[in-house]
Each structure stands twice: as C-alpha cells, then as structure tokens.
Amino acid sequence: MVKKDKDEFERIKYNQNLKSYKFVKDFTEWKKNCLGISGSDLFVENIPTLYDFLDTHIVPSGANKNVRDQSVNAGKDEGVKGFLSFISNALADGKFTFGEAMIISGFAETLSDMKGTELDPALIVFTDIEMKGGKKVGTSEVLGHYRTDNYEKRTGKPAAPVSWLAGENPPHQALYAESGKYAKPTGLVYIMKEAKDMIKGSELTEVEIPFSDSDFEQADKISVISDYFDKAIKNSSFWTEGGMLRVNILRRDFRNTNFGRIKRKDQQLLAEISGLNRGGKRKKEAPVGEITEFTPLDATAGALIELIDKALIRAGKNTAPNGYRAWQNQRKKGFDYRKTAKEVYGTKERPKSGKGSRTQMKPTQRVISKMWQSLLWR
C-alpha cells in the first residue's frame, strides 16, 4: 500500500478526513440526487438539472460577493460561480480551510432566513397570460412555476403539477423539505446546519509539529509535553553514568512519541506553535479542526535542553536519575549543574586548570568528579 501524503500548512503536516464527516456524505448524496433530476423533470427548458438551477438562480446576489470577500482568493480574478460550486470545489480539494468553513457556516443561517421570503424559490413570481380567441384577455401573477393551465392551452406544452404553484416546487423542496424525491437524504438547509455543527467539533488527525528553540516556553505549558519531560528526568536511558543528558537519544524518543488527549487550553497553544493561529485567532487559510493528538515532526537540541531544564526546576532538583549532577554538552548556554571549583574547594587553593597549566581553576569552572574521570579513562 502506498501511504497518502499528508497535507501541509505553515510548519505542520496533517490529515483532514473529510469523508468521515456526515455533512460531506449528505451533501454528496444531495448533489447526486439533484444532478439526476433533469430540466424536463422540472418542466423547464435550457436548464440541465435541478442542481444547475439551484447553483445559478437561487443563491442570493450578495452570496457570491461574500464568498469572494472571505475566500483566500479574495481580490483575485477567479471568483466563485455559485455557492454550491464553492462547496463542491472545497470538497474536491479534500480539505476545508477555516475561511471556507466560516462561509459555509454563514450560509446555513442565510439559507434558513431565505425561507418564506422573495428569495425562496417557492415564491418566484411569474406572469400568467390568459388567451381567448387568439387574443390576450388578461394577466395574473402566479408563484413557483410558469407552466400553468393557461400556458398549456397557449403553447401545447404540459402544465406543471398544481402543488408546484402552491409552495412546493422542486427547488423549494430540495432546499427545505425534510425528505422526499427532491430532498435526498434531506433538504440542503438541514445539511448546512450539519456543516455548522461539524465545524465546531472537527479534528485534525496524524498531526506532525516541529519544535524549535523559540517554542520551548509555550511548549512547556502544554500538559502532555511537560508530563513527558517530567518523566524524562527520571529515565536513566536518557542520561550517562556521569549525569550527562543524551540529547540525541532523547530526540529520537520524543519524535517517536504520539501525544493524545490534548486539553482544550493546550489545543490553543499548539495552534499558535504550529502556525494555525495568530494572536489566538485561526487564520482564514488554515485548515479547520482542532489538534487532539500529534507527533513531534522534529525538535532542536536547544528546545529539548530547555524543556529538560524546566522539568528539573519543577522537580526542585539538579541531578540525573543516578544522583550525579545533571549537565549537557550540546549548547553552551544550556544547563550544567556540575559542581564548580568554588563549591568543591571553597577558599582553599584550587588545583591547576589543566595538565601543564600554571594557573588555578577559575571559581566557576566545572569540576569533573573522580568517578567520571575514571569512566572517561575506561
């Protein structure tokens, strides 16, 4: 099997399994059903299907402008033909951005508000012409469809069902009926409400996040990460016998750890670190969905060292699991809790700083224990 490449945004990789959402399944079925209802089924001409009619005639005139203004393509020439095409294109991409989700959420309310207004297809006004002896003898307004009995007498083309002129034409049913021939599995207004609910509870899966030197302050506030490093300072496999942190071994383990059960407050921090959010708000072009589990894509030595140091401070200790002073040799400014010459010798004369040296050790110079020296020699 060939593994599907993950989507990428800013610094992270992720999967957004849209096919698992009920909204996506229902909209796909609804669209297929509408595409299967032809213009002749609707008693109209020059309109291929019910879906085409809805896409090009029903969406309020302001909706396209709203889509363009909110879209990541705002200001570009592409525009959007109609709202239904907008949804279809988003689904075809296999991912939803936050901007697209907000448009869909807004349209759920717009569509609901349209019912019973002049924008409701059940209330489309047509002029019905009455003929007698080949002459027009009167006109009247009809709602929902133009093919009346008078139209049939005048043209010889069959009239639409009477119910269609009484508030139940196919476009209206496709939008607002709970079920039926033109509303499978249900009307679009109900599917849009599902979409709105989906946006609130959606998740990003198989997320991979890199952690750099500048991320450790925020990363340390994330419960699952601080818990990991609280355990790491007690794990002897990450430390040498002389108390030195094995940074590369720690990095491999960190990168291979899947962190799950992310708390709500931690989701916000992860969104900031990963670049999904800016200033606490989701970017329009970012994928919709919360990070509920993740694996570190990578972590710099600096970030790992700082996170270990914070864990040591939390624990109120400065030693490795075996009791030796904790230190590392990857970053000059990183932690080093080995004893200094001043701690060991106090005010006494300090040894020479090195073999053949004539100067004493500096007070701040680290002293290598005899055991550690023997380990090095061995």
Query: What's residue 165's pLDDT?
Result: 93
pLDDT over 90, % of the chain: 51
Query: What's residue 355's pLDDT?
Result: 54
Residue 65 forms part of a structural domain: yes
- 188 and 259 inside one domain: no
Query: What is the Cα–Cα distance from 59 to 138, expressed in whole angstroms?
Result: 32
Copy the structure tokens of residue 357: 């040296």
- 252 and 184 inside one domain: no
Say whether pLDDT at 126 is over 90: yes
Residue 132 forms part of a structural domain: no
Identity of the highest mean pLDDT range in 8-22, 69-83, 332-346: 8-22
- 52 and 189 inside one domain: yes
Number of DSSP helices (H) and strands (E) in the chain, helices first: 15, 9
Query: What is the Cα–Cα distance from 95 to 88, expressed in whole angstroms?
Result: 11
- 184 and 266 inside one domain: no
Say whether pLDDT at 12 is over 50: yes
Contacts of 114 (CB under 8 A, 6+ apart): 60, 120, 175
- Say if residues 119 and 172 touch (Cβ distance below 8 Å): no
Query: What is the Cα–Cα distance from 277 to 326, expressed in whole angstroms?
Result: 36
* Nearest C-alpha neighbor of 162 from the set 139, 145, 186, 187: 145
Indicate the number of domains in the chain: 2
Q: Which residue has the higher pLDDT, 349 or 275?
A: 275
Say whether pLDDT at 59 is over 70: no
* Nearest C-alpha neighbor of 339 from the set 351, 327, 355: 327
Instruction: Print the domain residue range for 240.
Output: 203-319
